[in-house]
Amino acid sequence: MLRPLIALIVALWLPPLHAANVLVLGDSLSAAYGMNENQGWVQLLRERLEQKQLDIQVINASISGETTAGGLARLPRLLNEYQPSVVILELGGNDGLRGYPIQSMKKQLQRSVQLSHQHQAQVLLLGMEIPPNYGRRYSELFRSAYQEIAKHNELVLVPFFLEGVATNRELMQADGIHPRSEAQAQMLDNVWPLLEPLLDADSKQLEASANH
C-alpha cells in the first residue's frame, strides 16, 4: 500500500515530460499565402515527420502580415499553451518591407528567443533578406541582424529561408514576394538539415528523462 502511494507522490512532484512539439511562429511565408494550407512547407514538414514515424506535433501559429512585434505579443500564450520543445522563428520580413528600424526588429527577435529559452525550447531562426531597392545599407543591416541574434544566443540559423527560391521567377507568385506551391518543398529542404538535429537531440533528452 505504501509503495503505490510513494510512486503517486513522486509522479506528482516530478515535472511533466512534454511531447516534442514544434511551434512555427512566422508570417505569410509559413502561412501558405496564396495557396491551400495543405500545400505549404509546414504541412510538408508534418508529412515528412509522419513518413519518418516521428511522433512530433507541429503547431503552425503563422499569420500573414505578421511582424516581429506581433509575434512577440502572441508568443507567451503560445508557449504556455503548447509547451514546444522547438520554436521555429520565421519573422522579420514584414518589418523589412515596411522599412521598420533594424534595432527594433532585433530587440523583438531577441526577446522572442529569450522567452522561448525560458520555456526550455530550442530556437531555430530563419534568416531573411529584402529586395535591393531598399538600399544597400539597410539591406545589409537587415541581413546581419539575424546573424547577430544567432551568434549572441548560440542559435542554429538558416541564413536565407528562401535560398534557391527568391531568385527563381517560376517559383514566385506574381507579386514577386510570396513563393508558389512549387517552391514549398525547397523551403522545407532549406530548413530540414538544421531542424532534424534539434529534433534528434530533443528525442534523446526525452528518452533519458523517461528512463530515470
Which positions are annotated as active-site residues? 28, 175, 178
Nearest of 45, 109, 21 to residue 71 by alpha carbon:
109
- What is the spatial distance between Cα 14 and Cα 89, in angstroms, rounded to a whole number? 30
Residue 32: exposed, middle, or buried by beta-carbon count in 10 A (0-12, 13-18, 19+)? buried
Write out the three cell numbers for 108.
523583438
What is the spatial distance between Cα 9 and Cα 108, in angstroms, rounded to a whole number?
A: 41
Q: What per-residue string of b and e applies to 144-165 under the rule 16 or more CB within 10 Å gives b?
A: ebbeebbeebebebbbbbbeeb
Task: Compute CA 177 distance to the chain's CA centroid, rounded to the nearest angstrom.
Answer: 19
Residue holding cell 531555430? 124
| Grid cell digits, residue 42 | 509546414
Matching residue, cell 495557396:
35
